[in-house]
Amino acid sequence: MYPKQEVVAMLLAGGQGSRLGVLTKKLAKPAVPFGGKYRIIDFPLSNCINSGIEAVGVLTQYQPLLLNEYIGNGQPWDLDGMNAGVTCLSPYQAVEGAEWYSGTANAIYQNINYIDRYNPEYVVILSGDHIYKMDYAEMIAFHKKHEADCTIAVIDVSLEEASRFGILNTYENGEIYEFDEKPAVPKSTNASMGIYVFNWNKLRKYLIDDENDPNSDHDFGKNVLPLMLNSGEKMFAYKFDGYWKDVGTIDSLWDANMDILNPHVSLDLKNIYSRNRMLPPHYVGPDAEIQNSLIADGCEVNGKLEFSILFSGVKVGKGAEINSSIIMPGAVIEEGAKVLYSIVSENAHIGKDAVVGGYPEDYPDRDQWGVTVIGDGLNIAQGAVIAPKAMIDKDVEV
Amino acid sequence: MGINLAGIIFANVGEENFPELTSNRTMASVPFGGKYRLVDFPLSNMSNSGINNVAIITRKNFHSLLDHVGSGVAWDLSKRRSGLTILSPYGGHSFGHRIEAIYHLHGYFEQLTEKYILLTTSNYVANVDYQKMYERHRKSGADITLMYKNMPVSKNAHDPLVFNVDENDVITQILINPQTEGECACSVGALIIKKDLLMDLVRNCMSKNTLDFRKHLLQDNLGNLKMMGYNFEGSISLIHSVDEYYTENMKLMDKAVRDEIFNPSYPIYTKVRDDAPSKYGLTSVVKGSLVAQGCKIDGEVENCIISKGVHIGKGAKVKNCIIMQDTIIHSGASINYAIIDKDVIVGENKSLSGTDSYPIYIAKQSNI
């Protein structure tokens, strides 16, 4: 018998994140490095423990090795409690057969047993690909106050952007009367953040109903939420006004990283926990020039750095120039190389005098310019030139 | 699989000439290298050498030490059947001498299943493979193996210990505070001995009330026991004074020293603090410095060790300094040749300066 937990969080971390291209070739999107020392999943995991949620199920499916290893026993996030903690939930084989997770709702459905053993009042559904800091306890308090069956966190987006999101139309008190998935003509700018609080007894019933519907895609946004609304359940929108960013594309991932360097953006990294490599402080050489950048432990910087983020253990040679770029753990930028508006993945090697990416102002035709991405562990030969917007997935010779 | 060797770290040895940083903390908890405490070096070395049972013996000022080491989990020394133990004075016994401490802790030593004991101090910085020393000890048939380094005798150490060794590393003479010039076989404070022999020697010293570890346990027994030297060929820093503290910290600016001490195959572990990466502002100018995480730098920094969580304001000039954790240097301040302890605030446009041979020390939590 497990001691009761009032709230259980379920973190959807199984998506491939195909729009991140080479960055998610060998790892799931939530495991993508972010912000100089974190991985994306550190944000929801830290939010959970900072909100007092101690039972967290992480639903993994695509490339789970690194994610499972990274989460481990949950100790870095204090999620290694005696009676609860973090548990990685992969698809499994049962008497009825074995099934992959066929949709977000199906993934939760297949883990009803995991949730039931804590006998919770509420279940929070989270996704593993958003950068934000949020106190879920406040959202749950809102949910209780309105005696809702389901509460969905929303963020105010601009009218132009609204067509890219699931939009919730509400009465003045926040009660939802309509879902509008990616509307051509949005009626409001309340975009769903993919964060849901449910009364477990209600959600449990609807998950089973949805599972029995052969026409359903078993997706929360598409199937379960509309089903609940049409059945007359009380559903509320909870407005969140902090920093929030979906980092599902190369551009948004790059933007969110750059936001950390922007003093006008309200994203601070305090109380975000992560599993750390044990490395010494970083060393800044006598010829280095560093402005407006973020540098983690174990780096050796001998070149010029502007508006950039160096993850742990990055080496930057003399005369190298890094501008507006994100250099992931263990990458090496040799002497004289230029890395401009780029994302260089873990352990990649940029040879001497190579040029990766370019300045947007040098490309009057904006369609020719974009963030350049170099895949994991690749070698870019001495003197090689990689055009802006390129996504490199194999070694480059000259 | 561990080795048949338990580790003992003396947390307070070497404090005599180093009151600045050790009047309110143990030698073991003196900050070093921007993110470490000195005890991280023996703890990590022992853990990396396969030692599973480690005790830290401390006689005073151990609050910061307890806070730092916790359960020992950071060094992988929090195990069900073994791990880290902190041993402090109890029952009114004095731990003033190492011999007294070991004598009164006989209960701890007796329950250890390990047959051999490694004794070390905590005032050294090095990456040491104790397994090699242990193998040498077993192979040589020595009663005691003492680690040494060929280097000039420290002028700051209280009674430094020097050996004369023959071509087979047999110790022929043990000298305390000798008048010497040039390099000698200087003790670096580590020795391996069979547990039963250690306890016999300690009881013998106690019965005669001869309590000086170096004089009575080592020097007086050289005739009766086979003592071997073990030459440590790597880079090692010994710290006995604020001058040595400064120069040994600054050695980390040398890449070869850093690469050896922070060997990624044998990492130096420390207590984890969840600091964000350090942020360099638009006005930062940083050259030749070691910077830990959680810092915010908007000023000029040259040839400094900047510890975690330090803030350096716009226009501040900090040169040749060791700045410890969470210290705040406000804009326009100017500091040269200083060791600034934890949680210090240096106000706007304030100026502080020592000299290269005499760095000034600013105590913890000072407000300037």
Backbone angles phi, psi at A330, to 5 degrees: 75, 0
Tell me the CATH number at B155.
3.90.550.10
Q: B32: which DSSP letter?
A: E
Tell me if B283 is assigned to some domain: yes
CB A86 within 8 A of CB A93: no
Residues B159 and B238 in one domain: yes
Distance CA A362, CA A364 (A): 6
Q: Which of B55, B72, B51, B75 is nearest to B11 (CA)?
A: B55
> How far apart are the CA of A294 and the nearest CA of chain B, in angstroms?
5
Residues B226 and B167 in one domain: yes
| Residue B273 reports pLDDT greater than 70 | yes
Residues B351 and B242 in one domain: no
Q: Tokens 């009465």 correspond to what residue?
A: A171
Tell me if B193 is assigned to some domain: yes
Among the partner residues B262, B279, B283, nearest to A280 by beta-carbon distance: B262
Tell me if B307 is assigned to some domain: yes
Cα dihedral across residues B168, B172, B173, B179: positive or negative: negative
> In sequence order, which residues have a C-beta less than 8 Å from that of residue A263 and are 6 or more positions away?
none
Residues B216 and B291 in one domain: no
| Residue A244 reports pLDDT greater than 60 | yes
Distance CA A372, CA A344 (A): 8
Tell me if B48 is assigned to some domain: yes
**Domain end call among B230, B261, B292:** B261
Q: Per the CB < 8 Å rule, is A300 touching B268?
A: no
Tell me if B56 is assigned to some domain: yes
Rounded mean pLDDT of chain B? 94
pLDDT recorded at residue B2: 59
Cβ atoms within 10 Å of B76's Cβ, excluding its own: 15
Residues B229 and B298 in one domain: no
pLDDT digits (tens, 9 = 90+) for A90-145: 888 777 777 788 889 999 999 999 999 999 999 999 998 899 999 999 999 999 99
Residues B208 and B166 in one domain: yes
CB B131 within 8 A of CB B151: no
Q: What is the ipTM for the molecules in this complex?
A: 0.91
Residues B55 and B151 in one domain: yes
**Domain end call among B261, B290, B324:** B261
Q: Which of B89, B115, B272 is nearest to B196 (CA)?
A: B115
Burial environment of residue A227 by CB neighbours within 10 A (0 to 12, 13 to 18, 19 or more): middle
Residue A318: pLDDT band with limits 50, 70, 90: very high
Counted across chains A and B, CB pairs separated by less than 8 A come out at 104
Q: Per the CB < 8 Å rule, is B286 touching A284?
A: yes
Residues B116 and B253 in one domain: yes
Residues B348 and B227 in one domain: no
Residues B286 and B248 in one domain: no
Tell me the CATH number at B285.
2.160.10.10
pLDDT recorded at residue A1: 67
pLDDT recorded at residue B122: 94
**What are B243's two structure tokens?**
């001058």
Backbone angles phi, psi at B339, to 5 degrees: -110, 115
Q: Which domain holds residue B320?
A: 279-362
Mean pLDDT value across residues A29-34? 94
> How far apart are the CA of A193 and the nearest CA of chain B, in angstroms?
25
pLDDT digits (tens, 9 = 90+) for B239-261: 999 999 999 999 999 999 999 99
Residues B99 and B132 in one domain: yes
Backbone angles phi, psi at B91, to 5 degrees: 55, 25
Among the partner residues A281, A282, A295, nearest to B33 by beta-carbon distance: A281
Q: How many domains does chain B have?
A: 2
Tell me if B272 is assigned to some domain: no
| Residue A28 reports pLDDT greater than 80 | yes
Q: A87: which DSSP letter?
A: E
**Domain end call among B212, B227, B261:** B261
> In sequence order, which residues have a C-beta less than 8 Å from that of residue A230 and are 6 or more positions away?
none
pLDDT digits (tens, 9 = 90+) for B275-297: 999 999 999 999 999 999 999 99
Backbone angles phi, psi at A163, to 5 degrees: -70, -10
3-state SS of B252-267 is HHCHHHHHHHCCCCCC
Backbone angles phi, psi at A242, to 5 degrees: -85, -165
Could you give the percent of chain B with pLDDT greater than 70? 99
Q: Which of A60-64, A231-235, A372-376, B266-270 has the lowest mean pLDDT?
A: A60-64
Tell me if B368 is assigned to some domain: no
Residue B33 forms contact with A (CB below 8 Å): yes
Among the partner residues B274, B277, B288, nearest to A295 by beta-carbon distance: B277
Tell me if B224 is assigned to some domain: yes
Residues B35 and B143 in one domain: yes
CA-to-CA separations, A360 to A262, A368, B66, in angstroms, rounded: 19, 9, 53
pLDDT recorded at residue B321: 97
> In sequence order, which residues have a C-beta less than 8 Å from that of residue B184 and are 6 or more positions away?
B150, B151, B152, B153, B162, B163, B178
